[in-house]
Structure 1
């Protein structure tokens, strides 16, 4: 089984398990804040992926949002987000997914995402043509930030400080803004051209890499910029990404 086929299988199985557990009723525990929650479904879905990889790719390492960590001998690591958008998941909203990425040292090989609400599975990478249920995604269409829908998230405590000021510089340049609650699902919407650029600070690898792999595969750009003491992850159409980076840095956006 290829890595891409295995990745698609893993996210489908993890997402299906989480959806079934939600249907049976689940309780949520808070982590860092009231909006940062975890459930038994997160842990069970991660365990399913880790156990499968132990049999299918025993030499590879794993890194999971819910604590799974194993060093491998191959140099490759599977980065796992069993439920991305757990607050939405708990609230009964559909904008959540199961996701993973595969890295080889500093190289990002692929990302895979399953959206249980629609049953769709995305797989792709910088050198692997992104597909949705086997159908190729069209190349991304470039546009400036002023014509782009920005998808982002900023916790309310940050709005009144330097982080909020940097966020305001960036967000005010967009045509419109959405906060939907799952960074990886936002990335899939960017890859499909439904949204155009995403930006958020302090993004861990399991939230960044699956979506970044697929966005890069359709010709989008991915960048990290330091602003207001935070590292900001930016991904999407090339021109809007460059403008977001410039605005976060406190400068003017590049001339068209």
Structure 2
């Protein structure tokens, strides 16, 4: 089984496991704040992926949101987000997924995402045309920020400070704004042209890389930029990405 097939199978199985566990009722624990949650399903889905990777790719490193940090010898690392959008998952909303990425020392190689609510599996990478259940995506259509639907997120404590000011400069330039609660599912919508650009600060690798791989495979751009003392991640239509970065760093 090649890496793409393995990745697709892993996120599918992890997502289905989490979905089954949710249907039986599940408790959540708070991590950093009331919107940052973890459940037994997060941990079980990560364990499922890790056990399979240790068997199928024993020389690769593994890095997971729920604490896995296995050092391999191949120079490749699998980055796991077993449940992205855990608040939505716990609340009974459907905008959540299981995701992972494979990277080497130089770049991300591929991303895979399973959205249990629609039973859809996405795979793609910078050199791999993205697909949804095997159907290729159309290329991302470039557009300006003023023509774009921006998907984003900002914790309320930041709205009244310089981070909020940078956020406002960026968001005010968009045609419309959505906050949907799963960065990776937002990235799938961007990669398919349903949304157009995403931006958020302090994005960890498991929240960035699966979606970034697929957006880049669809012809989109991804960038990181420092503004207001934070590092921001921006991805989507290339012109909109450049304009978001300019707005964030404007004085």
TM-score for both structures, normalised by structure 2: 0.99
Secondary structure at the aligned position of 1:118 is classed as coil
Q: Give 1:1-256 correspondences, 5 Å limit.
A: 1-250=1-250
Superposition RMSD on alpha carbons, in Å? 0.5
- Any idea what the Cα deviations from partners look like across 1:198-249, whole Å, max 9, x if unmatched? 0000000000000000000010000000000000000000000000000001
**Structure 1 CA distance, aligned partners of 2:106 and 2:48?**
26
**Structure 2 CA distance, aligned partners of 1:235 and 1:206?**
15
- Any idea what the Cα deviations from partners look like across 1:178-210, whole Å, max 9, x if unmatched? 000000000000000000000000000000000
How far does residue 153 in structure 1 lie from its aligned partner after superposition?
Answer: 0.2
Secondary structure at the aligned position of 1:114 is classed as strand
**Structure 1 CA distance, aligned partners of 2:198 and 2:168?**
14
How far does residue 169 in structure 1 lie from its aligned partner after superposition?
Answer: 0.2
Superposed structure 1 runs of 4+ greater than 4 Å apart: none
- Higher mean alpha-carbon deviation, 104-113 vs 148-157, is at 104-113
**Structure 1 CA distance, aligned partners of 2:79 and 2:118?**
23
- Any idea what the Cα deviations from partners look like across 1:75-122, whole Å, max 9, x if unmatched? 000000000000000000000000000001121100000000000000
**Structure 2 CA distance, aligned partners of 1:59 and 1:170?**
42
Aligned residues: 251
Secondary structure at the aligned position of 1:208 is classed as helix
- Any idea what the Cα deviations from partners look like across 1:6-43, whole Å, max 9, x if unmatched? 00000000000000000011000000000000000000
**Structure 2 CA distance, aligned partners of 1:121 and 1:138?**
16
**Structure 1 CA distance, aligned partners of 2:113 and 2:213?**
11
Secondary structure at the aligned position of 2:130 is classed as strand
How far does residue 51 in structure 1 lie from its aligned partner after superposition?
Answer: 0.2
**Structure 1 CA distance, aligned partners of 2:129 and 2:107?**
16
**Structure 2 CA distance, aligned partners of 1:213 and 1:132?**
14
